[in-house]
Amino acid sequence: MNLKSPAARRVRNLLLIGIFLYVTCIPHGGLFAFMLLPFFVCAWVIDALVMVRKPEQRARRAERVLTWVLAFCIAGTVNLYWYRQSRAYANKVVGAVMNYRARTGAYPPDLQDVGISQTIAVHKWMLVYGVSGKGEPLLIYPAPWDGFDTYAYDFGNGRWVYWAD
């Protein structure tokens, strides 16, 4: 098989897009898309210049640029989904904790006490809950697009606080 043929180039491009989507469409994978985007924008500008100067390459390069732009749009949409779902789950946990406090007057020592699976909270959403020795609760989870930044719930003010790392 000729590795320079149009079919081989398409297969190679689709394989790379598949790897890109596999890495960037998982929770906290958006960081990789953010890191790669400036390099891709530079390549797209170069492709645009070549398309203007060499019309015979226009179709091939336009196809490549459009498929990669679509891949970045898919990664962005999936990461937006993870962002909204993780916040919705975290708000569910906050509601359960606040209901427990309203009933008992104290914060629950564990999420199991409010009917939330600790396994799902930790493994799927990386949500961490605990109560200090003084009875102060702590609820945090990492930002879905970047595993280094976190959201923490301020129980005193009733709002989420973004902690950038």
- Mean pLDDT, the chain, rounded, equals 91
What is the pTM for the complete model shown? 0.81
Distance CA 110, CA 96 (A): 11
Considering the domain architecture, whether residues 113 and 57 belong to the same structural domain is answered as no
The pLDDT of residue 1 is above 70: no
**Is residue 134 scored above 80 in pLDDT?**
yes
Q: Based on the structure, what is the number of domains in the chain? A: 2
Task: Please compute the mean of the pLDDT values over residues 131-143 and round it to a whole number.
Answer: 89
Write down the pLDDT at residue 89: 94
Q: Report how far residue 4's alpha carbon sits from residue 22's, in angstroms, rounded to the nearest whole number.
A: 25
Q: Label residue 97 exposed, middle or buried (CB < 10 Å: 0-12, 13-18, 19+).
A: buried
- Indicate if 136 and 88 belong to the same structural domain: yes
The better pLDDT of the pair 30, 16 is held by 16
pLDDT at 2 over 90: no
The answer to whether residues 149 and 118 belong to one domain is yes
Q: What percent of the chain has pLDDT over 70?
A: 99
Q: What is the mean pLDDT of residues 29-45?
A: 93
Instruction: Indicate whether 57 and 96 sit together in one domain.
Output: no
Instruction: Tell me which of 81, 108, 142 is where a domain ends.
Output: 81
